[in-house]
Structure 1
Amino acid sequence: MGPGNRPLDLEWLEDFLALAETGNFSRAAEARAIAQPAFSRHIRALEDWVGVELFDRSAHPAALTAAGQRFLPLLETILANLEAARIKARAAHDLAAASLRFAATHVLSLTFFPRWLVGMEARLRLGPIQTMSDSSQACEDLMLQRRVQFVLCHGHDEVPGRLDEAQYPMCRLADDRLLPVSAPQPGGAAGQPLHALGRSAPVPVLAYSDASGLGRIMRARMRGVFAEGADGPVAVVFTAHHAVLLKTLAQEGRGVAWLPESLIADELRTGTLVAAGGADWNVPVQIRLYRQRAEMSPVAESLWELAVAQVASQP
């Protein structure tokens, strides 16, 4: 076995530094709290690993050879980097253990989640928080892969998602509604929609994609209305899984979109969006918080307990 293939003990490196500092085998061994014969063997083993002598033993005190002088600063840098790597790794572990990791659907990450989180932070010291905003399908994937502790999304009792089927614990935080809305008629009577459901001609609809949890709910609750190829009252003209994108298109007059009331409260108040149908076209939904089934970090468990307690205390 050549010198470069010998196993290296990191203790030898610390022994080398002690001897380089003191120049005396006895004092260096004492500083390292090991017997001098064992200390001397460590130094010799390190020299065997390097392949050259690092100390001139004929000198008093022992002096570094040219190779040892070259080895010393590089070794100090290596050991400093190793210590920094250890500290950073432990810090990353502590951060991951203490932080809260949420996945939230696009629309709730913009509307409900910030306000709800402020309320939680007023009651709990939460520490670092990581939030990923994506489609409902992607959020479910993150939970199933154990990459997040919580998922915030819309849901419906009659339209179970994958987290419901896998029996993940769920807390119903609030209620919401999907309202069919349209841009108002330009120059017409106040509150009259540009596109209205119930007209004889098919109404252009801005629909949610398959990746959207709201789309899954809409298709299940209005089966037949959105059936492909059906001669129904609507014609899908655009599809996306971003409710905010559908809202923008609806405001531009492109069609009717079923949007969460929590998203369009301001637009309904100012009249830039108006109801495109009666109450029988509304779809009630829930704002839900799902959690991992396994035990989580103490701060995550505390947040879950507080969320459940707040819901239970509501009239």
Structure 2
Amino acid sequence: MAKAVRFYETGGPEVLKWEAVEVGEPGSGEVRIRHEAVGLNFAEIYSRTGLYPASLPSGIGVAAAGIIEAVGDDVTGVAPGDRVTYTGSPLGAYSTERVMPASHLIKLPDAIAFDTAAAMTMRGLTTSYLLRRIHSLKAGDTVLLHAAAGGVGLIFSQWAKLLGVKVIGTVSTEEKATIARAHGCDEVIIYTQENVAEKVRELTDGVGVPVVYDSIGATTFETSLNSLARRGLLVCFGTASGPIPPIDAMQLCLTGSVFVTRPALADYIADPAEKAELAGELFDHVGSGRIKIEINQRYGLDDAVQAHRDLESGKTTGSSVFAL
């Protein structure tokens, strides 16, 4: 029988329950997929705590890879036996199998393993839109990236290197700094030891950076603003430490007429053609070995509580997956 992780109330990791579930047959526009690997992403913590509202009781998880077992009526583009990956709603990826909309699936090239796909689909597509859609970067530009040793961070730094973009990364420990440097970070600031904004100014001859990529949120917002060059852009694409504070328009003026955006991956993959383009470039880089996906933590789905504890505590580096 199929099994899944579900939660009946919001709260800490302990609200996650591993239980048997009925899957059923796919309806119109749907497929039934057997998962081979499931991604572990910070977005799932937002669902579990209620920051991202869910109708309870609920499944959890937004990214996985596997094999299509059955398709419903009006499904085109995929067929039973196809290798696929996905990211996005509806929740429920923490499961051995599930029924879901076929439109969310992306065919997976043979060159990419299931665990690699589960680890990278959300993080890789996020990196893809950050580097290829948010701001027109050119070779020689220098940007600031928080959480440089995380899943997005390691992909971002490698991809930026391919584009000739220099990355100043922030991390919490020397161990994480070593990992970030090994994956393409040109400069690494250990934020527990140095003032990030001051160090950024020092590294950029007092100018600051044209773009800051911030997945941390509440605790880094001021630092990020103060690291920007005049008319720079702050990209707040995550809230690991909590939501960003209310924005004072005058503060943006006084900081150098800077800009702030809070993008969501869903708005960059809503168009099938754009999603295919972003995924195609990602798969090409990973399949060729130009970008390596570091899976540094593996769990069983029945150990989701511990996986969430590890992720929330900042213990993890690179990507994490549930192996089935």
Q: Quickly name the TM-score band, shorter chain normalised.
A: under 0.3
Structure with the largest fraction of helix: 1
TM-score by length of 2: 0.25
Structure with the largest fraction of strand: 2
Structure with larger Rg: 1
